[in-house]
Amino acid sequence: MSKQERIEQALDRLRQNMPDIRAAIVASPDGLLIAERGAGNAATRLAAMAATALGLGRRIAQTAQAGEFNELVVRGKDGYLAVFAIEGKAVLALTLPEGGNLGLLRIEAENAVKDVLEEL
Protein backbone atom coordinates (compact mmCIF):
# COMPACT_ATOMS: atom_id res chain seq x y z
CA MET A 1 0.00 0.00 0.00
CA SER A 2 1.29 3.44 -0.89
CA LYS A 3 2.01 6.17 1.61
CA GLN A 4 -0.90 8.19 0.30
CA GLU A 5 -3.26 5.26 0.74
CA ARG A 6 -2.11 4.75 4.32
CA ILE A 7 -2.72 8.44 5.06
CA GLU A 8 -6.14 8.17 3.42
CA GLN A 9 -6.86 5.16 5.64
CA ALA A 10 -6.02 7.23 8.69
CA LEU A 11 -8.53 9.84 7.48
CA ASP A 12 -11.12 7.09 6.88
CA ARG A 13 -10.68 5.83 10.46
CA LEU A 14 -11.07 9.37 11.72
CA ARG A 15 -14.32 9.77 9.82
CA GLN A 16 -15.61 6.37 10.95
CA ASN A 17 -14.95 7.29 14.58
CA MET A 18 -16.63 10.63 14.09
CA PRO A 19 -19.09 10.56 11.18
CA ASP A 20 -19.93 14.24 11.78
CA ILE A 21 -16.67 15.23 10.15
CA ARG A 22 -17.43 16.49 6.66
CA ALA A 23 -14.01 16.97 5.14
CA ALA A 24 -10.60 15.81 6.27
CA ILE A 25 -7.45 16.88 4.48
CA VAL A 26 -3.72 16.58 4.99
CA ALA A 27 -1.52 19.18 3.29
CA SER A 28 2.14 20.13 3.23
CA PRO A 29 3.06 23.26 5.21
CA ASP A 30 3.30 25.16 1.91
CA GLY A 31 -0.24 24.24 0.96
CA LEU A 32 0.02 21.28 -1.40
CA LEU A 33 -2.64 18.62 -0.97
CA ILE A 34 -1.31 15.29 0.31
CA ALA A 35 -4.57 13.40 0.98
CA GLU A 36 -8.24 14.18 1.43
CA ARG A 37 -11.55 12.59 2.28
CA GLY A 38 -14.90 14.25 1.71
CA ALA A 39 -13.51 17.59 0.56
CA GLY A 40 -14.46 17.23 -3.11
CA ASN A 41 -13.78 20.25 -5.29
CA ALA A 42 -12.70 22.35 -2.31
CA ALA A 43 -9.72 20.09 -1.50
CA THR A 44 -6.93 22.12 -3.09
CA ARG A 45 -8.24 25.42 -1.77
CA LEU A 46 -8.72 23.93 1.68
CA ALA A 47 -5.12 22.72 1.54
CA ALA A 48 -3.89 26.23 0.75
CA MET A 49 -6.10 27.71 3.49
CA ALA A 50 -4.91 25.14 6.03
CA ALA A 51 -1.31 26.05 5.29
CA THR A 52 -2.15 29.74 5.57
CA ALA A 53 -3.86 29.15 8.93
CA LEU A 54 -0.87 27.13 10.12
CA GLY A 55 1.65 29.79 9.02
CA LEU A 56 -0.34 32.65 10.47
CA GLY A 57 -1.29 30.68 13.59
CA ARG A 58 2.36 29.93 14.27
CA ARG A 59 3.24 33.60 13.92
CA ILE A 60 0.35 34.65 16.16
CA ALA A 61 1.23 32.08 18.83
CA GLN A 62 4.81 33.33 18.77
CA THR A 63 3.82 37.01 18.99
CA ALA A 64 1.35 36.28 21.78
CA GLN A 65 4.04 34.26 23.57
CA ALA A 66 1.73 31.26 23.51
CA GLY A 67 4.55 28.90 22.54
CA GLU A 68 4.53 26.34 19.79
CA PHE A 69 1.45 26.32 17.53
CA ASN A 70 -1.02 23.58 18.32
CA GLU A 71 -4.40 24.22 16.74
CA LEU A 72 -6.62 26.90 15.27
CA VAL A 73 -10.40 26.69 15.23
CA VAL A 74 -12.56 28.90 13.03
CA ARG A 75 -16.21 28.94 14.01
CA GLY A 76 -18.80 30.18 11.56
CA LYS A 77 -22.58 30.32 11.73
CA ASP A 78 -22.88 26.89 10.12
CA GLY A 79 -19.85 25.05 11.42
CA TYR A 80 -16.17 24.78 12.20
CA LEU A 81 -12.85 24.42 10.50
CA ALA A 82 -10.12 23.14 12.78
CA VAL A 83 -6.46 23.12 11.80
CA PHE A 84 -3.84 21.01 13.58
CA ALA A 85 -0.08 20.99 13.10
CA ILE A 86 1.46 17.61 12.29
CA GLU A 87 4.79 18.64 13.80
CA GLY A 88 6.58 20.75 11.22
CA LYS A 89 5.81 18.25 8.49
CA ALA A 90 2.21 18.73 7.50
CA VAL A 91 -1.13 20.12 8.55
CA LEU A 92 -4.47 18.41 9.23
CA ALA A 93 -7.69 20.32 8.55
CA LEU A 94 -11.15 19.08 9.51
CA THR A 95 -14.58 20.59 8.97
CA LEU A 96 -17.47 19.96 11.31
CA PRO A 97 -21.08 21.22 11.19
CA GLU A 98 -22.45 23.57 13.84
CA GLY A 99 -23.34 21.67 17.00
CA GLY A 100 -20.56 19.14 16.43
CA ASN A 101 -18.52 17.87 19.36
CA LEU A 102 -15.31 19.91 19.40
CA GLY A 103 -13.91 18.02 22.40
CA LEU A 104 -14.21 14.70 20.62
CA LEU A 105 -12.82 16.28 17.45
CA ARG A 106 -9.65 17.26 19.33
CA ILE A 107 -9.14 13.73 20.64
CA GLU A 108 -9.74 12.14 17.25
CA ALA A 109 -7.52 14.72 15.56
CA GLU A 110 -4.72 13.97 18.01
CA ASN A 111 -4.90 10.27 17.12
CA ALA A 112 -4.98 11.03 13.40
CA VAL A 113 -1.97 13.36 13.76
CA LYS A 114 -0.02 10.47 15.33
CA ASP A 115 -1.09 8.07 12.57
CA VAL A 116 -0.18 10.47 9.78
CA LEU A 117 3.10 11.39 11.44
CA GLU A 118 4.20 7.76 11.23
CA GLU A 119 3.78 7.92 7.47
CA LEU A 120 5.68 11.16 6.87
Partner 1 sequence: MKPHTLKIGVLGPYGAGKTTLVRTLSTIPAVSTEAPSSEGGKATTTVALDYGYLDFGSVGVHLFGTPGQARFHDVLDVVLQGALGALILVRADRPSDLPRVRELRDYVASVLEVPYLLGATHLDKERRWETAEIALFLKEREDRVLRLDPRDSGQARRALARLVELVCEEGGVRCR
Whichever of 42 and 104 has its CB closer to partner 1, that residue is: 42
Whichever of 64 and 103 has its CB closer to partner 1, that residue is: 64
**Least separation in angstroms between CB 39 and partner 1:** 14
**Least separation in angstroms between CB 9 and partner 1:** 23
Interacting residues with partner 1 (CB under 8 A): 28-32, 44-45, 47-49, 51-52, 54-56, 58-59, 88
Contacts for 108 with CB less than 8 Å, ≥ 6 apart: 14, 17, 18, 21
Closest CA to 117 of 83, 82, 86, 85: 86
Whichever of 49 and 94 has its CB closer to partner 1, that residue is: 49
Closest CA to 109 of 31, 99, 90: 90
Closest CA to 54 of 15, 22, 89: 89
**Least separation in angstroms between CB 99 and partner 1:** 26
